Copies of this chain bind each other. A is one copy, B any other.
């Protein structure tokens, strides 16, 4: 069966027992020591998204609808083009879910004041209610995760996640997080690059 099982140096993850997944020491770590993150990130994101998914399914919606609701709530009056820049999907993909949300009265479109070609997006009261439900359940999970980690965990967790974002995209996300309209001109067009 050959040497299928092991490649690379030892993959001990340095658990000392008092902490579920990580030790408190900071030995210089080889890259393979970081494998656990790949799994943690995968499982964490999966569970993080499954709560809203369950609610959305009751409305006949999916994850894509959630994203639209979320960012429209975050930046009321968002233009379609801006939303495309944030989500980095094609307008055809967006149109499919946006049309549903508009048709069913969760999102309201209004022509721009200065440029009437623009369709400014707003949540209806109905849309805001649904988005609130989704936000609440996700916020509770985050709160729970932070609760057991001493002070300073909040800042550190945010900065860790921020650091996971491709450098080129960080300015866009940074302004977005402040609830501002992002200048997306420098952000990565495809994946990394």
Pairwise interchain contact B145-A24, C-beta atoms closer than 8 A: no
Chain B nearest CB from A96 CB (Å) reads 19
Pairwise interchain contact A145-B164, C-beta atoms closer than 8 A: yes
Quick check: is A81 within 8 A (CB to CB) of the other chain?
A: no
Chain B nearest CB from A37 CB (Å) reads 5
Quick check: is A95 within 8 A (CB to CB) of the other chain?
A: no
Q: How many residues of A contact B (CB 8 A)?
A: 94
Residue of B nearest to A51 (CB): B192
The answer for the CA separation of A45 and B42 in the assembled complex, in Å, is: 8
Pairwise interchain contact B31-A135, C-beta atoms closer than 8 A: yes
Pairwise interchain contact A1-B122, C-beta atoms closer than 8 A: yes
- Chain A positions 151-193 with a Cβ under 8 Å from a chain B Cβ: 151-166, 169-170, 173-174, 176-179, 190-192
| A159 CB contacts on chain B under 8 angstroms | 19-22, 148-149
Q: What 4 A-B pairs come out closest when comparing CB atoms?
A: A145-B163, A22-B158, A50-B191, A44-B164
